Amino acid sequence: MSKKKNKVSLESTLKSMDTEEWLDLKFYRPIGYQWALFFKKLGVSPNSITILSIFIGIAAGVLFYFPDLKLNLIGMFCLIWANSYDSADGQLARMTKQYSRIGRILDGVSGDFWFIAIYMAICLRLYNEWGIWIWILAAAAGECHSIQASSADYLRNFHLFFVKGKNGSELDDSNTVKEQAKALKWKGNFVEKFFMLFYVPYTKSQERRTPKMQAFRKTLEEKFGEERPTQEFSEAFRKESKPFMKYTNILSFNTRVIALFICLLINKPWLYFVFELVILNSLLIYMSIGYERLCKRFDLRLRRNA
C-alpha cells in the first residue's frame, strides 16, 4: 500500500506523461523525487537547488578539459548529478506549489551555464590541435543548441496547454512578458528584472520561428480567450501533437548528453559539435516543419467551425 502511495506521489510531481522521456521516467525522475523529498525536509527552495545544479554542471565542464578518462568519467557523473537536481527543482516546485517565472527562467539558464562550460573546456582542450577553428565550430554548434532547446521547450509547452490548460503549461506571450517586465521596479526586484531583460527577446525568438503556431494561438484566443479549447478539440490536437514530443525530448538533454559521453570516451570531443550541427539540426527542421503544418491544419479547422 505504501509503495502504491509513493508511486502516486512521484507521478504528481511530473508535468505530463505525454512529455516525459523513458530515461527520465526510469532514472532521473525517481532520483529527482528523492532529492525533492530530501530538500523539502531541509526547507530548501527550488531555486536554491537550481543554483546548486549550475555549480555542479560547471564543475563537470571543467573536468572535460582534461584528456584524462578518469577525470572525464567524474565529469560525466557530475553532469548526471546536476541534471538530477534540475529534475528535483521542478518536482519540488510542483510538490510545494512554489511556482515563479524567475524559477522557470533560472531553470532554463542553468543548462546554458553547463554547456557554456562544456564548450569552453572542449575548445581549450583542442586549441593546440585545431587553433581558432575549434572555437568557430563550437560557436556555430552553441547557437544551434540554443535554438534546438528553445524550440523543443516551446513546442512542449504548447502541447501541455491542450493537456492541462494555461495553469499546467509554461506557455508565455512576448507582449504580456514585456508588459510585466516594464511593470517590475529595479528596487526590490533586481534579479527578476535582470533575467526578464533576456527572457523577453527569448520569448520573441520562439514566436518568430513559429508563424503558423502564432496564427493558431491568435484564433484560439479569439474563440476561447485564455481558456483551453473544448475537450473534443483539445483531445484531437493532443493526439496529433503527441508524436512530436519524442523529438522535443531528443533535442533536450538526454540524447545530446549520451552523444557527448560517447565522443569523450573515444577521445574525439569535437564530434559532439558535428552531432549538434548535422543530426540535431536535421531533426529540428523536420520537427518544426511538421508542427507548423499541424498548427495550420487545426487553425483552419477551428476557423471553419467558427
The CA angle 267-254-58, to the nearest 5 degrees, is: 65
Q: What is the pTM of this model?
A: 0.87
* Distance in angstroms between the alpha carbons of the first and the last residue of the chain: 49
Q: Which three cell numbers stand for residue 127?
A: 586549441
Amino acid at 261: F
Within a 13 Å sphere around the CA of 140, how many CA atoms are in the beta-carbon half?
15
Compute the mean pLDDT over every residue in the chain, rounded to the nearest whole number: 89
Contact call for residues 115 and 142 (beta carbons, < 8 A): yes
Per-residue pLDDT tens over the stretch 202-213: 899 999 999 999
Per-residue pLDDT tens over the stretch 161-213: 998 887 777 788 888 888 888 888 888 888 778 888 888 888 999 999 999 99
pLDDT of residue 1: 40
Is residue 97 left, alpha or beta, with left meaning phi > 0 and alpha meaning psi from -120 to 50? left
For cell 508535468, the residue is 15
pLDDT of residue 4: 44
The CA angle 155-104-181, to the nearest 5 degrees, is: 100
Give the confidence band of 218 by pLDDT, cuts at 50, 70, 90. very high
The mean pLDDT value for 62-80 works out to 97
Rounded to an integer, what distance in angstroms lies between the CA atom of residue 289 and that of residue 144? Answer: 16
Rounded to an integer, what distance in angstroms lies between the CA atom of residue 222 and that of residue 63? Answer: 52
